[in-house]
Every structure is written in structure tokens, then in C-alpha cells.
Amino acid sequence: MNPLEVITITIVSGWLLVLSVATLVVIRQSAILTVRLNRVKGNFTEKIGLDLGVAAPASVATLVPEVTRPRGYVVLTSSSCTACHELVPGLQALRIEPNVVALVPGSSHAAVQLAEQFPPWIRVIRDPEASAIAQALEVDRTPYGMEFQQGKMSAKVYLHKPADLAELFESGKRAETRRGMTQLEVAGRGN
């Protein structure tokens, strides 16, 4: 083989590699988008988290006393979740509720960085407690927000943007002010 053929084969191989990687990235992003859109539309019927009205396990109430208050919130994130890394910086502007706890499982550098991005009004719990709490609450999807009233799950929602967490806060306030409507009815609209 002459040098020109070697250069041509190298260039063609390089472009094929680039095209292959680009195709895989597009397929991955399409799958992620499909899953997110299906969750928003409610096409996923899997059970995530405790049922509404169910009391938080005693182990959770011990580690997260915020859930036993009139209104307390738990936000589950993950260091490997791209949506979580996009969501957390936007929470700085909310400053809505003092009883918010963020669970950040993982011991990697990415988990440390994610935990440091939460606003100071959100208490952060890291591993090993974060994983144990998430498992006790039966939540394995992120980012995910839960509202507890007097120790019972009253609302839960995927958090696609900071406004979703703000709406979760507002639904809890509406539950307190509306007469003749149970907490579960109000919370059910957040699903």
C-alpha cells in the first residue's frame, strides 16, 4: 500500500467512527426524550413511591423529621441524572419553603458537586442515608419530588423544571386553604 491509500483509509475510518458516535448520541437522546414525554403525558403506569395517604416509614421519619411537620418536602436526585444537574441550579431562585430535604445518593465527585449546588435553604442528605431513605420511600426515578403532610405522603411528581417543585409547594398551600376538599384529592392532581 502506498502512503496515499493509508491516509485515505485513515480519514475514511475516522469519519465513519465520528458518524457512528453521532448516531449513537442521537439515538440515546431520542430515547431520553421519549421517556420524558411519556412521563409527562402520564403514559407510564408503574408505581413510584409510597401511595398517597401512606405514612412515611419510621426510619425515614427519624432521618428526615421534616416529613412529620405540617408540610415537608423530599427531593430525590442522582449524580448520574442529567436532568438533575439541569434542575438544581434553577432552585436557587425559588426560596419557597424551609422544610425541604434533598437526597443525593452516590459518593462520586459528581454527587459532591451536585450536593453543593443546592440552595442553603434545602438540607442535603448524602449517602449512605440518601440511598436508604430513597429505598424506604420506594422511589427509584430522578428527579422526583414528594410532599408529606403530618408524616403522610400527600403529593408526588417528576421534577422536570424548578417550576414543578414550586407547583408542588403551591398545591400544599391550596390543600391547607380549601374547605371541603381532602388533602388526597388536591394531591392527586399533582400526579
Q: What is the pLDDT of residues 116-159, one digit of tens each?
A: 988 888 899 998 898 999 999 988 888 888 999 999 998 888 88
**170 Cβ partners below 8 Å, 6+ apart?**
none
Model pLDDT, residue 16 = 93
Q: Where are the beta strands (DSSP E) in the chain?
A: 72-76, 100-104, 122-126, 144-149, 152-158
In this prediction, residue 189 has a pLDDT band, given cuts at 50, 70 and 90, of very low
- What is the number of H-type helices and E-type strands within the chain? 7, 5
- pTM over 0.85? The answer is no
Question: Which pLDDT does position 41 carry in this prediction?
Answer: 52
Residues 183 and 123 placed together within one structural domain of the fold? yes
In a domain, 27, yes or no: yes
13: pLDDT confidence band, cut at 50, 70 and 90?
Answer: very high
Residue 81's φ and ψ, nearest 5 degrees, are -95, 115
The proportion of the chain whose per-residue pLDDT surpasses 70, expressed as a percent, equals 81
Is position 78 within any domain?
Answer: yes
- Domain count along the chain: 2
3-state SS, residue 91: helix
Among 13, 31, 10, CA closest to 21: 13
12 and 73 in a single domain? The answer is: no
Check whether residue 89 and residue 136 sit in a common domain. Answer: yes
Distance of alpha carbon 106 from alpha carbon 186, whole angstroms? 33
Q: Are residues 38 and 94 in the same domain?
A: no
* Residue 46 predicted with pLDDT over 60: no
Q: What is the CATH number of the domain that holds 116?
A: 3.40.30.10
Q: Residue 187's CB: how many other CB atoms inside 10 A? A: 24
Backbone phi and psi for residue 53, each to the nearest 5 degrees, phi listed first:
90, -10
Question: Does residue 14 fall inside a structural domain?
Answer: yes
Name the residue range of residue 161's domain.
58-188
